[in-house]
Amino acid sequence: MLRLLSLPPEEAIAFFRRKGFRIGFDHRDVWQAEHQAAFTVAKAMQLDLLADIREQVDAAIELGTTFETFRETLKPNLVRRGWWGRAVMTDPATGEAKEVQLGSTRRLKVIYDTNLRQAHSEGQWARIQETKAEAPYLMYDHTPSAHERKEHAAWDGMVLPADDPWWQSHYPVRAWGCKCRVIQLGQRQLDRLGARVGTAPPERYQDYVNKRTGETSRVPAGVAPEFAYPPGGRQANLDRMLAEKAARAGLEGT
Q: Quick one: DSSP state of residue 8?
A: -
Handedness of CA 133, 10, 167, 153 (dihedral sign): positive
Give the confidence band of 189 by pLDDT, cuts at 50, 70, 90.
very high
pLDDT digits (tens, 9 = 90+) for 56-107: 999 999 999 999 999 999 999 999 999 999 999 999 999 999 999 999 999 9
pLDDT value for 230: 96
**Number of C-alpha atoms within 13 angstroms, CB side, residue 50?**
17
| Inter-residue contact 45 to 25 (CB < 8 Å) | yes
- Among residues of the chain, what percentage have pLDDT more than 90? 85
- Say if strands 159-161 and 137-141 run parallel, antiparallel, or are unpaired: antiparallel
Least confident of 26-35, 137-146, 203-212: 137-146
**How many Å separate Cα 236 from the centre of its chain?**
16
Parse the chain into domains and list their residue ranges. 10-118+238-252
